[in-house]
Amino acid sequence: MTPEEEIERLYRTHGHSVLRRARHILGDEHEANEVLQELFMSLLDRPGQFRGESSVTTWLYSVTTHLCLNRLRSQRTRLRLVEERVAPAQPDEAPARADQRALAQQLLAGLPGEVAEAAVYYYCDEMSQEEIAGVLGCSRRHVGDLLERCRERARAWEAAP
């Protein structure tokens, strides 16, 4: 099987999971589709990215999270997301929830990469610290430190005028 055929197989098998993950983090269908395309295009450009150090599902999950967090860090995207989320809520969503999502996305955009990843895994995905350690390839204690840094940032952010 050629590398292109293998990537096409991965896309057909795991593309829906990548899209769902991106949609969950970004809260935006268009941006989620962009992440999906970016991930698989990068695999076509550099097929050796996946080195088999974890399962392909774990690797795609981690890369998708990383790409989404990078998008949230983008100033242009962050401002647009805030405007969309603080604007009138969607019919099935209470205004407070839209505001909370926008604030959470702003906070995530300002966190260092590994701290933001740990926060998404812990608070959004409800993974245990042990599970997060496995995904990030670090100790459970390091995950606890990352989550504490996230909480400290959140407290400082809430206290800021």
pLDDT digit string, tens, across residues 13-67: 999 999 999 998 888 899 999 999 999 999 988 878 887 778 889 899 999 999 9
| Whole-angstrom distance, CA of residue 43 vs CA of residue 54 | 16
Q: Which amino acid is at 91?
A: P
Structure token digits, residue 94? 């209470």
Whether the predicted model's global pTM rises above the 0.85 cut: no
Q: Does domain 111-161 have CATH number 1.10.10?
A: yes
Boundaries of every domain in the chain? 1-73, 111-161
- pLDDT tier, 107 (very low <50, low <70, confident <90, very high otherwise): confident
Domain at 1-73: CATH architecture: Orthogonal Bundle (1.10)
